[in-house]
Chains A and B, each alone.
Chain A
Amino acid sequence: MGWRLIRIYTILVYLFMFLPIAVVVLLSFNANQFGSFPMTGLSTRWFEALWNNDAIMRAFRTSIVLGLMTAVISTVLGVLASLALVRYKIPGRNLITTLLIAPILVPEVVLAVALLLFLNFLNFGKSFTLLLAGHVIFTLPFVILVVQARLVSIKRDVEEAAMSLGASPMQTFFAITLPLLMPAVAAGGLFAFTISFDDITGTLFWKPGGIETVPTQIFSMLRNSISPEINALGTVMIVLTVGLPLIGAAIARTLATRSGQ
């Protein structure tokens, strides 16, 4: 009896969480202009409309470029920072770690306003570079957390063995450390991309006029009217932000099994 209640309760919680998403996905295939049930027919017209909407496609391209650049910069910086923090005895190591992780702990609005005011103070205006910098600051902690955890588990002995066999520190990094670090690097990069891709708070503060990312585009579209195109856009966003990490995890797992780790 008790178990039955728990089961029903669990199902209700899941419905509460996922039903709105399911509705969005479902309605994106609705043939009718007005979203209501029962649906009158299936169609991909809203996806086509999306494809033909220049503003949305521009926003989409911006988001992809921004996400990729954020991922690459964050991953490179994150790996370098992790190496320094884990492999070398640098003074103030704990303080630096805390500072690097801090952006997760500070409310995003505060971070967004702070960065904006700081750059205003330095007489820099809003620009794509500022937007990129903001996203890097915001995604770097995730990369560092993931990469550091992995780096700690890679024994120093393995690197020392490689060096004793004639590999320079640089060659050792590329032949041994980086391949062993790869699952974490890939995971960190994916994190950075997806976080950047659906960030809105910081982006609203940082983006210069005329540049829209997908979330800010949706946001401004919602202010005017609720177009079914938004449902289609939402579906695309869901597929990207849920699908990418899943694919990443699957790739990481296959790589790991193949190398027998």
Chain B
Amino acid sequence: MSAVSLSNIVKRFGDYTAVHQMSLDIEEGSFVTLLGPSGCGKTTTLRMIAGLLDPTEGDITIKGKRVNDVPIHKRNLGLVFQNYALFPHKTVAENVAFGLNYRDVGKDDAKRKVAAALDLVQLPDLGGRYPKELSGGQQQRIALARAIVIEPDVLLLDEPLSALDANLREDMRVELKRIQQSIGVTTVFVTHDQTEALAMSDQIIVMSEGRVEQVGAPEDVYNTPATEFVAKFLGASNLLDARCRDVANGGIVLELPDFPAIPIPKERAPKVTGPGPVRLVIRAEKLQLKAPGTPENGCLSVDAIVETVDYQGQSARYFVRVGDHQMQAVNMIEDHPFAAGAKVALQFRARDCAALPVGSRP
């Protein structure tokens, strides 16, 4: 039985459809991320699961029970917001204990649970403080403690890391994942940050314009994008027009001007069914710039000219030209970065490429 399931959910605001026909099953105990740019419907979806919005069509079930008509305060959910939403007039301990007031929990029991929750988020000594006296990271931990102390059926996180500084965000990411694993609560996480999604999720749901583009494990979504949108949104990708020459058992063979023929394994092009135009996807970090004449070592190689160099310290982003194609590559810098105007050999492995049907939609 899935912890949360959406079947044919539609949400309209007047004439505007925020979420189109969405179906989804979230497994008990898993960490699932709704990933997409702003306005893709991910927060709307989360708010429908929370009960803050009513779906226009479709059913939402939590633990096998249909909850469409169950108001938010009876759904037993933990909700964490981007801006923490702590109660400013209550102490940290009162904040965390808030949800227990509405449950059948004795006074001593409540005290113990609050202390345990504060321990879990590693802020055991702040119970007497007011939220204003805490840093952003501390406030978000308290918000998390407040949400999990009630032992929710589902933990809903609405961009909880977006308001934090970059360094703190990475620490909190690890921390959040640790806490989630230690209590094993089913978690739905909303973010526009692909790094967060890739690092934390068991499953990523990529959304765009109110539709699900792809559902899969982080590696699958990253390596084998199902649509052009996913390829562009996750990481830096090169998308090139190509032709599929033939489809064989082991894979397909692509050809495009200025490149040698590229044999792609079948699992990297699951949607290409026959010869015809396709889109070739190569991740920027899979393209290696080498000095001209470097042995190919089983890689494919094309001649290229460096046009722009975006120096980033340990790595560099190169914009290179191959015939008529402009491509980007992200490489670690070993000695010195290549200079703009340099002639290079652009090397990549065929099995790192993926192919999509042209104009693919989910």
Query: Are B89 and A166 in contact, CB atoms less than 8 angstroms apart?
Result: no
Which residue from chain A places its CB closest to the CB of B156 in the assembled complex? A164
Chain B interface residue count, CB cutoff 8 Å, equals: 34
Residues of B that sit less than 8 Å from A by CB: 50, 52, 71-79, 81, 83, 85-90, 98-99, 101-103, 129-133, 143, 146-147, 150, 156
* Total inter-chain residue pairs, C-beta < 8 Å: 80
Are A161 and B79 in contact (CB-based, < 8 A)? yes
A155 touches B102 (CB 8 A): no
Decide: A162 and B98 in contact? CB cutoff 8 A.
yes
* Bound-state Cα–Cα, A74 to B258, Å: 79
When distances are taken between beta carbons in the complex, the residues of chain A under 8 Å from B85 are 155, 157-158, 160-161
Partner of A162, one of B71, B74, B87, B129: B87
| A151 smallest CB distance to B (angstroms) | 14
In chain A, residues 157-201, which have Cβ atoms closer than 8 Å to a Cβ of chain B? 157-158, 160-169, 171-172, 175-176, 179-180
Q: How distant is the Cα of A17 from the Cα of B71 in the complex, in angstroms?
A: 58
User: How many Å lie between the Cα of A155 and that of B81 in the bound state?
Assistant: 11
Partner of B81, one of A157, A167, A168, A171: A157
Give me the 8 closest cross-chain CB pairs, A-B, nearest first.
A260-B130, A165-B99, A166-B102, A157-B85, A164-B79, A259-B89, A161-B85, A260-B132
Dominant secondary structure at the A interface: helix
Q: Determine the distance from Cα of A158 to Cα of B89 in the docked complex, in whole angstroms.
A: 11
Give the docked Cα–Cα distance between A260 and B128 (Å).
12
Residues of A within 8 A of B (CB): 155, 157-158, 160-169, 171-172, 175-176, 179-180, 259-261
Nearest Cβ in chain A — how far from B340, in angstroms? 48
Whether A161 pairs with B81 at a CB distance below 8 angstroms is: yes
Bound complex: CA of A243 vs CA of B241, how far in Å?
79
Q: Report A172 CB to chain B, min CB distance, Å.
A: 8
Q: How far, in angstroms, from A162 to B130 measured CA to CA in the complex?
A: 17
Cα A167 to Cα B88 with chains together (Å): 17
B156 surroundings in chain A (CB, below 8 A): 164
Given the complex of chains A and B, what is the CA–CA distance between A179 and B81 in angstroms? 21
Q: Which of B72, B74, B88 contacts A160 (CB 8 A)?
A: B72
Question: In angstroms, how far is the closest chain B Cβ from the Cβ of A122?
Answer: 42
From A155, A158, A160, A161, residue with most partner B Cβ within 10 Å: A161
Most A CB atoms within 10 A — which of B98, B103, B131, B143?
A: B98
A161 to B147, CA, bound (A): 9
Shortest Cβ distance from A180 into B: residue: B89
Looking at the complex, which one of B50, B102, B131 makes contact with A167 (CB distance below 8 Å)?
B102
- CB closest chain-B residue, reference A168: B73
- Contacts of A160 on B, CB cut-off 8 Å? 50, 52, 72, 79, 81, 85
